[in-house]
Amino acid sequence: MYYLKAFFSAFLHALKNLLPIVVVVAFFQALVLQQVPDNLASMTVGLLIVAAGVALFLQGLDLSIFPVGKSLSNQFARKGSVPLLLGFGFALGFSAVVAEPALIAVAMQAQEISGGQIDAFTLRMLVAVSVGVVTALGVFRTIFGFPLHWFMITGYIMVVIVTWFAPAEIVGLAYDSGGVTTNVVTVPLIAALGIGLATSIRGRNPLIDGFGLVALAVMVPMITVQVYGIFVYGSGGEVSGAASLLETGQSKPSANGLWSMLSELVGMVRDVLPIILTVLVFQYLVLRKSLANPVKVAFGFVLVILGLYAFVIGLKMGLFPIGTSMAEQLITLDGYLFVYLFAFTIGFATTMAEPALIAIGQQAEEAAAGQINGNVIRILVACGVAVGITIGVHRIIVGDSMHFYIMGGYTVVILLTLAAPRYIVALAYDLGGVTTSEVTVPLVTALGIGLASNIEGRNILIDGFGLIAFASIFPIVTVMGYAILAQLMTRRREVDT
């Protein structure tokens, strides 16, 4: 009975997170387009399945991965072994990202649209290994107290350099891959690891030293995926941009029935297996201790698998078609004003309801001891996401190269990093990584691909991806810009008095 109540509560919470999307879409359908989508029933069922999947997934995390991960972190911190902490950081980052629903969705879409040139499994492995390595690096930084801004400035200079040489076919996907690594599973685990270490080590500040792991996890996959793209497209192969989300995004569970369902379920087990193995290996072979409640943990892992399965099915029936349908319909109107308006409102509305952003905002407020207001941070981040997605949509409409937008954006970020007060840098970068939720990512991805599919002269792979990247860059700009302005105003008041 307790688990049913917990599931119902999580289901209602997931529906609440979906509500801003529903409100924005309903507004545009009723007042702007004045029509009802052809596949409304399928989309509605898909959204309900997504909500059920997210509820099962989160409930499973609460029963298994979160308590076990926190317990392991505390035990390793007490042991004080740097090699063990680094190894655990790598394993935690790798296993969490491999099972990330948003990354699975983006990788599936990339494989479909590229006609198999980009392999979904290889892409996910590259991203997962990158996040594992960089999580270990972030743990090392926290332990020894190295300033984050030098890591970030060096890293983004490398990102800009690699972007200059990377083929256009991979740039948007690479930045999106970085943006989706920090989500439902990764953010709570990695953030808890960093803040826990900073709190337990004498001389460390939780706000300055505890945050930043999420930001590093966003940055490094951008480099590795672009290098992967250089190898994939370096032979001069043509891009297969003919595959369309119109075909793939609206697919339903196969009519083959039971076999197809079992096959997809086995795939979900494979996705979660790295996390299970990480927990078992470190718990039983490294710490040599048994789990406190193995039956409860096992039940949690079953819920995680079932939730992932339902989530992917719901994506195909609900969120992908909504993004594609809205792009198709809005593009037929005179001018692009409503396309821009939809991009802005969907970005702002979904970000304000983002659970990971609310959690990080609360943690920052507590760590800063009144220096930061969590609600102000949420509004700043939501404005940044809204502006970012709108600029990303503009790039697709006019057909500009993403290279220059991204390189320009991160050049601004680097300059702001040098000027911003030190207390805000790590938090600002982390906030850029938590803006893209398990609900927002599929919808925004589908919107970009839908626009690229319906605007003449656009290539789906080159122009369709990249919106998530814009949603990650501009919150960093708004938060740092606000901190710099607040610092200047404080100094001016001090001078005046």
pLDDT tens digits, one per residue of 1-14: 677 887 788 788 77
In this model, does residue 372 exceed pLDDT 90? no
CA 230 to CA 238: how far, in whole Å?
13
Mean pLDDT across 43-71: 79
In this model, does residue 385 exceed pLDDT 80? yes
pLDDT at position 251:
42
* Residue 303: count of CB within 10 angstroms of its CB: 21
In this model, does residue 252 exceed pLDDT 70? no
Which amino acid would we find at residue 473?
I
In this model, does residue 130 exceed pLDDT 70? yes
Share of the chain above pLDDT 70, in %: 83
pLDDT at position 359:
60
Q: What angle do CA 425, 372, 184 make, to 5 degrees?
A: 70
In this model, does residue 387 exceed pLDDT 90? yes
In this model, does residue 201 exceed pLDDT 50? yes
Burial label, 432 (beta-carbon count in 10 A; 0-12, 13-18, 19+): buried
Q: Can you give 64-110 as a three-state secondary structure string?
A: CHHHHHHHHHHHHHHHCCHHHHHHHHHHHHHHHHHCCHHHHHHHHHH
Q: What angle do CA 264, 268, 272 make, to 5 degrees?
A: 170
What is the pLDDT confidence band of residue 254, given thresholds at 50, 70 and 90? very low
What is the pLDDT confidence band of residue 189, given thresholds at 50, 70 and 90? low
What is the pLDDT confidence band of residue 255, given thresholds at 50, 70 and 90? very low
Mean pLDDT across 234-255: 44
Mean pLDDT across 99-126: 82
